[in-house]
Amino acid sequence: MNLDRLLPKTSFGRFFLINVISLALFWLLIQPMANYWRNQALFRMVASNESRLFLTHIRLLDKLPTIAERNGLFNPNDDVFSIRVSHLPPDMPRDGSNCSQSLRRRLERAFKQENIRYTDLLTRIVVSHAPITVMGSEEKYSDLETFLTHHYMQAEIALRRPDGIWIYAKHQIEIMPQNRLWLNTAALAIEFLLVMSGVALALNWLLRPLRKLVAATERFGRTQEITPLRTDSGPVEVREAASAFNRMFSSIQRSFEERERFLTSFSHDLRTPLTRLRLRLEQVAQDDLREKLCADVDDLTDTLNRTITFLRSARSIEDVRRPIAVMPLLEALVEDRQGIGEQVTLNGNTAAVLLSWNRLRSAFENVVDNALRYGDCADIEVHHERDSEGREWLYIDFRDNGPGIPEEKLEFVLEPYVRLETSRNRKTGGHGLGLSIVRNLVEASGGRVLLMNRPEGGLLVRMLFPL
C-alpha cells in the first residue's frame, strides 16, 4: 500500500497532519490517565468531606434520647441530604468500589479517633447515569452528556450502633452543574483550535524560505531571471540552501555572460570573411557560377544568423518584462502581413500581460512564418480560461491549413534542427530552428508552447501565459 497516495501532497499538509495525529493520540492516551487521577482525587475529597459531615451529625444525634427526636432534626423529603434513624436495617447493598472503600476506611479512622462504637458499617457511592431527582425536580440528560461527564454522585452511609439502632445517611453531591455541562468539551475544542492555529503559523513561517527557494527556481526555469535569496535569516539549513542556490545561479549567470560574449565575437568574426567572400564573388565573370556561389554564401549567412538567434533566444538580452497589451501587437503584425497580400486573421481580446515585448514579437513572427510556409493562411485567436486549479491563463492560438505534423513527431519537432521535410531545400524544409526559437522565447517569458493537429486538418500552435 502506497502511503503517499493517502497523505497530503504538500509539506505543510503533512506536517499539519502529523501534529493533528499527535494531539489526537495525546488526548486518547494521556487524557484518560489524567481523568483517572483527577477522579481519584475527587473520590478522596468526597470521602473526606462525607466522613467529616457524617461524624458531625452522629455527635448531634447522640445528644438526643429518642428515635423520634433524632428523625425530627431532618426533613425526610430533602433529596439532597437526609438522615433516618431506625431499628430496621436500610435497604442498601454492600459496595466494594474503590471510592466506597476509601470512604469506609476514613470513617473507621474517624470513629476510632472519636471513640465512637459501632457493630456494622456500610458505605456506598453511586454515580448517576440516569435521570435523578434533585430538590424535588427531575433532571434529564442525553446519553452524550452522560458519557462526557457524570452530574451527581450519591453517598450512602449506614452505621449500626451497639444498641441495634441503624443510622442511615444519604447525600447527593453535585459534580458539575448542568449549565456547565459542555464547558469541558468547549475548552478542549478551543484548546485544539489554538494549538493547531499556532502549529499552522509556525509551519508557514518555517516553510516560507523553502517556498521562496522553489519560486526562485521556477522563475529561473521559466524566464531565466535570477533573483538572489537572502542568507541572513532563517534556520542554518535554510541559510545553507540559499547560499548554495546563490552560488549555483552565480555560476549560471557567468556562463550566460560568457556565452553572450562568445556569440558576439563569433558572429562578428564569421560575418566579416563571409562579407569579403560575397564581395569577391560579385567579381566572377560567369553569371551562372556567380549566382550559384552567391546563393551558397547567402544560405550560409542565413544559417549562421538563425543559429545565433536560436542560441540567444534561450536567454534574450532583453530580460525586462513589463505589462503589454497583446492585442495591439498582434493587430500590428496582422496589418503588416495583410499589407503584403498574406492571409492572416485575428479574433478575440484580452487584457495587458506581464511579458517581454521583443521576445513576444519574435515568437509571433516565427509562428506566422511557419503557418504561411506550410499552408496558405494563418488564423490567430486570443482568449483566456481557468484551469482545474483555478489559475487563469492567456491562450494565443495560431491555426494553419497545412498538412499538420505526424502524431509521433509532435513532441520532437520543438527540438533544434528537427526538420520534417526530408529534402535538403532550405526554402521548403527550413532550418529546423523556427519552432525551437519560439519555444525558447515563450518559455523565457514565463509561458508554454503546445502543438496539436486539428481534426479538420492543419496544425494548432498554442501559447499559454499565466495571468
Cell numbers representing residue 98 in the block: 474503590
Domains of the chain: 11-130+145-178 (no CATH), 319-466 (3.30.565.10)
pLDDT at 4: 61
Q: Does pTM top 0.75 for this prediction? A: no
379-425 pLDDT, tens digit per residue, is 999 988 888 877 888 899 999 988 888 888 887 777 765 666 543 33
- Output Rg (C-alpha) for the chain, integer angstroms: 45
Rounded CA-CA distance 378/427 in Å is 18
pLDDT at 398: 93
User: Does the pLDDT of residue 318 top 50, yes or no?
Assistant: no
Average pLDDT over the chain, rounded to whole?
A: 75
Cell numbers representing residue 285 in the block: 565573370
Per-position b or e across 55-88, b if 16+ CB within 10 A of its CB: bebbeebeeeeeeeebbeebeeeeebebbbbeee
Cell numbers representing residue 454 in the block: 486539428
pLDDT at 345: 92
Rounded CA-CA distance 106/121 in Å is 12
Q: Is 233 exposed, middle or buried (0-12, 13-18, 19+ CB in 10 A)?
A: exposed
pLDDT at 139: 40
CB-based contact 130:153 (threshold 8 Å): no
111-129 pLDDT, tens digit per residue, is 888 888 888 888 887 766 4
Rounded mean pLDDT of 255-276? Answer: 74
Quick one: pLDDT band at residue 460, thresholds 50, 70, 90? Answer: very high
